[in-house]
Amino acid sequence: MKKVTILYGTETGNSELLSMDICKVGNKSGLNCVNMGMDEIDNDEFSIIENLLIVCSTWGDGEQPDNAIDLFEFVESLDECDLQYMNFSVLALGDTAFDLFCEAGKEWDRILEEKGAKRIHDRVDCDVDYEDDAEEWIETVISKLM
Ligand SMILES: Cc1cc2nc3c(=O)[nH]c(=O)nc-3n(C[C@H](O)[C@H](O)[C@H](O)COP(=O)(O)O)c2cc1C
């Protein structure tokens, strides 16, 4: 079974709930999905992920949520080809009322590509009513991973 790692960056739990949904849908579809907070994976484990789905909200003024900061800094420190064996897609949560809409998710999308990972599906940026956009993204990424 293909292993898929879902990492969430969250302050108030929306991204965590979505990552649980992704896990459920993925496992039902025959994938071997695991989900965890971005602060629950160590750097060595992260570096060898083959299939990564990121769900990340934006906080403060366009900033990473607290539980995402250390992992993001680690990824920033990697060399250009270090993630060449990784496939990824990003679901970004935010609020269009903020100037830096979904900035944290956009940063993940950019940094993973910069470090050599291959985008399997375009990032989707979700406003506060994220359910429909998230559901569409989940269906598409899971079908691409199957
Ligand atoms: C204090 C605060 C700051 C926020 N800053 C931003 C922001 O800069 N950009 C953005 O797009 N959304 C921003 N948001 C919206 C959150 O990203 C959005 O509510 C998201 O669904 C929260 O998901 P989470 O529960 O996984 O953290 C902010 C929300 C709060 C309460």
* pLDDT score of 130: 97
Question: What band does 19 get if pLDDT is binned at 50, 70 and 90?
Answer: very high
In one-letter notation, the amino acid at residue 64 is Q
* pLDDT score of 47: 97
Question: What band does 75 get if pLDDT is binned at 50, 70 and 90?
Answer: very high
Residue 8's Cα: distance from chain center in Å?
Answer: 6
Q: Is 64 in the pocket of ligand 1 (CB under 6 A)?
A: no
Mean pLDDT across the stretch 83-97? 98
Q: Is 93 in the pocket of ligand 1 (CB under 6 A)?
A: yes
- Find the length of the chain: 146
**Using one digit for the tens of pLDDT, what is the confidence trace for 110-144?**
999 999 999 999 999 999 999 999 999 999 999 99
What's the 70 CA to ligand 1 centre distance in angstroms? 19
Q: Specify the residue for token string 């920033």.
A: 76
- Percentage of the chain exceeding pLDDT 70: 100
**Using one digit for the tens of pLDDT, what is the confidence trace for 21-68?**
999 999 999 999 999 999 999 999 999 999 999 999 999 999 999 999
Structure tokens at 129: 């009513």
Q: Are 74 and 111 in contact (CB under 8 A)?
A: no
What's the 15 CA to ligand 1 centre distance in angstroms? 11
CATH class of 3-145: alpha beta
Domain ranges of the chain: 3-145
CA angle 11, 15, 18 (to 5 degrees): 155
